[in-house]
Chain A
Amino acid sequence: MTSFLPKLEWKSFFRSASFGKSLGLKILMGFFAFYFIAMFFGAGLTLFPFLKDKFPAQDPLFVVNGYLFYWFLVDLVLRFFFQKLPVLAVKPLLILPVKRRDIVNYVLGKSVLSFFNFLPLFAIIPFSITLIYKGYPAGLVLTWMLAFFLVTLIINFLNFIIESFSSEKDLSVLPIIILAGGLYALNDFQIISFSTLIGNGFNAIYNSPVFIIIPVFILVGLYLINFKLLKQKLFLDSGLKTKIKAVQTSNMEWTKNFGDTAPFLQLDLKLIWRNKRSKSSVYGLIIGLLYGLFFYTNPTYQNSPSFFVFIGVFSTGIFLINFGQFIPAWDSAYYKLLMSQNIKYEHYLKSKFTLMAISVILLFILGIPYVYFGWKILVVHFAAAIYNIGVNSHIMLYGGSFNRKKIELDQKAAFNFQGTGAVQWIIGIPLLLIPMLIFGLFNFLVSFEVACLSLITLGVLGIVFHQKIMKKITAKYLQSKYIMINAFEQDN
Chain B
Amino acid sequence: MIISSNLSKKYGGKQVLNIESLEIPKGQSFGLVGNNGAGKTTFFSLLLDLIQPTTGFIKSNDIQVNESENWKPFTSSFIDESFLIGYLTPEEYFFFIGELRGQNKADVNTLVFKFKDFFHGEILGQKKYLRDLSKGNQKKVGIVAALIGNPEVVILDEPFANLDPTTQIRLKGIIKDLAENQNVTVLISSHDLLHVTDVCERIVVLEKGEIIKDLVTSEATLKELEAHFSENEVY
Q: Closest CB of chain B to A128's CB: distance in Å?
A: 50
Q: Closest CB of chain B to A278's CB: distance in Å?
A: 9
Whether A270 and B88, one on each chain, are in contact in the complex, defined by CB atoms closer than 8 angstroms, is: yes
Query: Which of A246, A333, A339 is within 8 Å of B86, CB to CB?
Result: A333
Whether A341 and B92, one on each chain, are in contact in the complex, defined by CB atoms closer than 8 angstroms, is: no
CA distance A372 to B149 in the complex (A): 56
Task: Write the chain B residue with the least CB distance to A249.
Answer: B89
CA distance A333 to B83 in the complex (A): 8
Q: Closest CB of chain B to A80's CB: distance in Å?
A: 25
- For residue B172, CB closer than 8 A to chain A, the reply is no
- For residue B97, CB closer than 8 A to chain A, the reply is yes
Interface residues as binary, B38-81 with A (CB distance below 8 Å gives 1, 0 otherwise): 00000000001111100000000000000000001101010100
Whether A334 and B52, one on each chain, are in contact in the complex, defined by CB atoms closer than 8 angstroms, is: no
Q: Closest CB of chain A to B157's CB: distance in Å?
A: 11
Task: Write the chain A residue with the least CB distance to B92.
Answer: A249
* Dominant secondary structure at the A interface: helix
CA distance A28 to B49 in the complex (A): 38
Q: Closest CB of chain A to B85's CB: distance in Å?
A: 5
Interface residues as binary, A342-385 with B (CB distance below 8 Å gives 1, 0 otherwise): 11000000000000000000000000000000000000000000
User: A410: which B residues are within 8 A, CB to CB?
Assistant: 86, 131
Query: How many residue pairs at the A-B interface have CB separations less than 8 Å?
Result: 79
Given contacts A247-B128, A263-B96, A341-B100, contact A409 B51 (CB under 8 A): no
Q: Closest CB of chain A to B174's CB: distance in Å?
A: 20
CA distance A410 to B129 in the complex (A): 12
Q: Closest CB of chain A to B222's CB: distance in Å?
A: 32
Given contacts A247-B128, A486-B51, contact A341 B72 (CB under 8 A): yes
Whether B52 and A275, one on each chain, are in contact in the complex, defined by CB atoms closer than 8 angstroms, is: no
CA distance A486 to B149 in the complex (A): 28
Of B52, B96, B149, chain A has the most CB atoms within 10 Å of the CB of B96
- For residue B191, CB closer than 8 A to chain A, the reply is no
Residues facing B in A286-337 (CB within 8 A) are: 333-337
Given contacts A249-B92, A334-B83, A334-B85, contact A274 B129 (CB under 8 A): yes
Whether A263 and B92, one on each chain, are in contact in the complex, defined by CB atoms closer than 8 angstroms, is: no
Given contacts A249-B92, A336-B82, A410-B131, contact A263 B49 (CB under 8 A): no
- For residue B14, CB closer than 8 A to chain A, the reply is no
Task: Write the chain A residue with the least CB distance to B89.
Answer: A247
Whether B127 and A247, one on each chain, are in contact in the complex, defined by CB atoms closer than 8 angstroms, is: yes
CA distance A429 to B127 in the complex (A): 44
Whether A340 and B50, one on each chain, are in contact in the complex, defined by CB atoms closer than 8 angstroms, is: yes
CA distance A60 to B84 in the complex (A): 61
Given contacts A244-B128, A342-B101, contact A267 B85 (CB under 8 A): yes
- For residue B177, CB closer than 8 A to chain A, the reply is no
Q: Closest CB of chain B to A315's CB: distance in Å?
A: 29
CA distance A249 to B128 in the complex (A): 10
- For residue B23, CB closer than 8 A to chain A, the reply is no
Q: Closest CB of chain A to B43's CB: distance in Å?
A: 14
Whether B82 and A334, one on each chain, are in contact in the complex, defined by CB atoms closer than 8 angstroms, is: yes
Q: Closest CB of chain A to B34's CB: distance in Å?
A: 21
User: A267: which B residues are within 8 A, CB to CB?
Assistant: 85, 88, 96
Whether B73 and A342, one on each chain, are in contact in the complex, defined by CB atoms closer than 8 angstroms, is: yes
CA distance A339 to B131 in the complex (A): 20
User: B113: which A residues are within 8 A, CB to CB?
Assistant: none
Given contacts A340-B48, A342-B73, contact A247 B129 (CB under 8 A): yes
CA distance A275 to B48 in the complex (A): 29
CA distance A339 to B66 in the complex (A): 12
- For residue B99, CB closer than 8 A to chain A, the reply is yes
If A263-B96, A342-B149 are given as contacts, then 15 extra A-B residue pairs at C-beta distance below 8 Å, sorted by A number, are: A242-B132, A246-B128, A262-B99, A263-B99, A263-B100, A270-B88, A270-B92, A333-B82, A333-B85, A336-B82, A337-B84, A339-B48, A340-B77, A342-B72, A342-B100
Q: Which residues of A contact B (CB under 8 A)?
A: 242, 244, 246-247, 249, 262-263, 266-267, 270-271, 274-275, 333-337, 339-343, 409-410, 482, 485-486, 489
Q: Which residues of B contact A (CB under 8 A)?
A: 48-52, 72-73, 75, 77, 79, 82-89, 91-92, 96-97, 99-102, 127-129, 131-132, 149
